[in-house]
Chain A
Amino acid sequence: MARTEIRIAGFGGQGVILSGYIFGKAASLFDDKFATLIQSFGPEARGSACSAQVIISDEPIDYPYIRKPDINVVISQEAFTKYGRDLKPGGILITEEHMVSVGNGALKDYDHYTVPATQIADQLGRRIVMNMVVVGCFTAVTGLLKKYAVRKAVEDSIPKGTEELNLKAFERGYKHGMKLKKEREARAIQ
């Protein structure tokens, strides 16, 4: 796998940085790859538009910033306005189903998936784990990282005592992602 550039964008407090941290940790500690995480810094990390940049590669990473992402994960409307279409043609776009209205603009250049992460998190009882649903969905639809590696990174990165809830959210997101992927493949065959 060559260099893959990922952006996760939302607003501060949604767990954007933690999601990026989990992907980077999964890749570099549990999946035998290289990863570099760069996070947006300052007031935006605490409430306004906020983003994490992750580069994952089989080789050491030289240039540390993303130039044009291969994968764009967008979980707030403001972030969609700013970054929604800043993606390589053919790249994967993942949006939160109820937080982001993609409007009528053409997204046909991208492999677009939506995930009702907030709804799923609410069903689990805590909206705060919405980001873990997104992480699970990402893991399924991108196939970039081994599932056990991401799961382990989730376990390794969250506060003690919250493992069950977070992993449940991760699994629900993963299941949703696999469903979308299968539907996509079935459509492709037709």
Chain B
Amino acid sequence: MKADKETVLTGAHFIDGDHAACEGAIAAGCKFVAGYPITPSTEVVERIALRFPLVGGIFIQMEDEIASSIAIQGAVWAGKKAMTVTSGPGFSLMMEHIGYAAITETPCVFINVQRGGPSTGLPTLPAQADMMQARWGSHGDYEIIAIVPNSPQECFDLTIRAFNLSEEYRVPVLVMMDECVGHMTEKVVIPEARQIDIVERKFTKKPPGEYKMFETNGTMVPEMVKVGDGYRTHLTGLTHDEQGYPAMSPKVQQRMLRRLVDKILLNEEKIRHIEEDHVEGADVVVISYGITSRVVLPAVNKARKEGVKVGHIRLITVWPFPESYIRELAKKVSAFVVPELNLGQIVHEVERCAAGNAVMQLVPHAGGAVHAPEDIYDTIKGVIEHA
């Protein structure tokens, strides 16, 4: 499927990341947004409120983030594509319903424009400190997909990808922006609608009597229906059988949970989205994501000019984590340098996958700004000396 040309704002624009994410959602076919505006994500929903009446979408400013994050799931089961948008404490309030989307396999998108925390923290300043919360914030075992743009252009492109992945795997997809990317204004090229690939929902072709809500038929992702189309639909946050009815036994739990996790983890290589630069033959590899991936470039380029064999990997998809990729790479390099706008989150994943095969050096930053490239450069040099 291609995007709808009536809704896509084709052309070159000078807009910020928040606005670009809004346009990405519209291009992806999003028709329902519920949100409780919060800095620094407010501009996403501001633009949604402005644009949705022109493209046949509905935006509701809800009473809070808890309501927002479940209202979108109602819209999804009514047949629409939907997302919610938040930051900081709002993201914490949404955790319960990320779990609900995971267990009910409700395709939906959460945009989190990360700001400094914990609690109210730094409302107008950047951080990348919600990365583990994105993965583990709801209780129980589950998998989600999280993607991290580093420019307004990518806020557009990757929000489309988020919707597509959510439909393909029936999973909540998190677009983990940060204040810097959200409020940064750059050129964003929106292609023609016919150049934008859209994944449509897989609705069942079975008649009502034969359809079971969570029957997989050899695939790992069940087909969906629209509530109200005559199918018997029963959705619950309880552990459920193929019909969708509560069935709280270890056997059903094992089967259901295994599939929820496997449908993502076994497709990790397909979902993987990594940018590599000079990784072949590198001694040290810097691993970064989001805005930090731009901040490392002056440091990496300077070190490289001085003859240091330094590569750079940008994780565009952070969850599911590219375990096998990092594991193999760790055998070929002497060290990893991981700068992130937190005091150590993704570095632990890298360390786990490297399993002692490479030296590990975090470049921490408490948030509120981005790293000074000098700090990353010094760390690269330090690691080389001690490796």
Enumerate chain A interface residues (CB-CB to B < 8 A).
Answer: 21, 24-25, 28-29, 34-39, 41-42, 61-65
Contacts and interface: CB of A to CB of B under 8 A. Distances in A.
B370 A24 contact: no
Contact of B186 (A35, A41, A63): A35
A29 B12 contact: yes
Q: Which 10 A-B pairs have CB atoms at the shortest separation, nearest pair first?
A: A62-B297, A28-B187, A37-B185, A25-B14, A41-B124, A62-B294, A42-B124, A36-B186, A29-B12, A63-B298
Given A21-B14, A42-B124, A65-B370, A36 B184 contact: yes
A65 B181 CA distance: 11
B291 interface: yes
A156 B294 CA distance: 29
A29 B186 CA distance: 10
A35 B373 CA distance: 20
Contacts, number: 57
A62 B296 CA distance: 8
A28 B14 contact: yes
B212 interface: no
B14, B183, B187, B373 — which one has the most chain A CB atoms within 10 A of its CB? Answer: B14
Nearest to B188: A28
Interface in B354-386: 369-370, 373
B291 A34 contact: no
Given A37-B184, A62-B298, 18 more contacts: A24-B14, A29-B12, A29-B14, A34-B186, A35-B186, A37-B14, A37-B186, A38-B180, A38-B184, A41-B124, A41-B183, A42-B124, A62-B294, A63-B294, A63-B370, A64-B180, A64-B184, A64-B295
B40 interface: yes
Given A21-B14, A63-B373, A35 B187 contact: yes
A71 to B, nearest CB: 18
Interface in B295-328: 295, 297-298
Contact of B40 (A25, A41, A62): A41
B187 A34 contact: yes
**Binding site of A, secondary structure by majority: helix, strand, loop or mixed?**
mixed
Interface residues of B, number: 20
A39 B295 contact: no
Contact of A39 (B13, B39, B183, B297): B183
A37 B185 CA distance: 5
A180 B323 CA distance: 61
A34 B184 CA distance: 13
A151 to B, nearest CB: 15
A36, A38, A61, A64 — which one has the most chain B CB atoms within 10 A of its CB? Answer: A64
Contacts of A65: 369-370
Nearest to A20: B185
Nearest to A44: B124
Contacts of A37: 14, 184-186
A41 B183 CA distance: 9
A34, A42, A63 — which one has the most chain B CB atoms within 10 A of its CB? Answer: A63
A64 B291 CA distance: 9
Contacts of A35: 14, 186-187
Given A42-B124, A63-B373, A64-B370, A28 B186 contact: yes
Nearest to B301: A62
A63 B369 CA distance: 12
Nearest to A28: B187
Contacts of B186: 24, 28, 34-37, 61
A36 B294 CA distance: 12
Contacts of A61: 186, 294
Interface in B278-296: 291, 294-295
Nearest to B187: A28
A177 B365 CA distance: 43
Contacts of B40: 41
A64 B373 CA distance: 11
A36 B187 CA distance: 8
5 contacts: A29-B13, A41-B40, A41-B124, A64-B184, A65-B370
Nearest to B40: A41
A54 to B, nearest CB: 9
A72 B86 CA distance: 35
A29 B295 CA distance: 24
Nearest to A43: B124
Contact of B185 (A24, A34, A41): A24
Contacts of A42: 124
A35 B15 CA distance: 11
A47 to B, nearest CB: 16
Contacts of B369: 65
A137 to B, nearest CB: 22
A64 B294 contact: yes
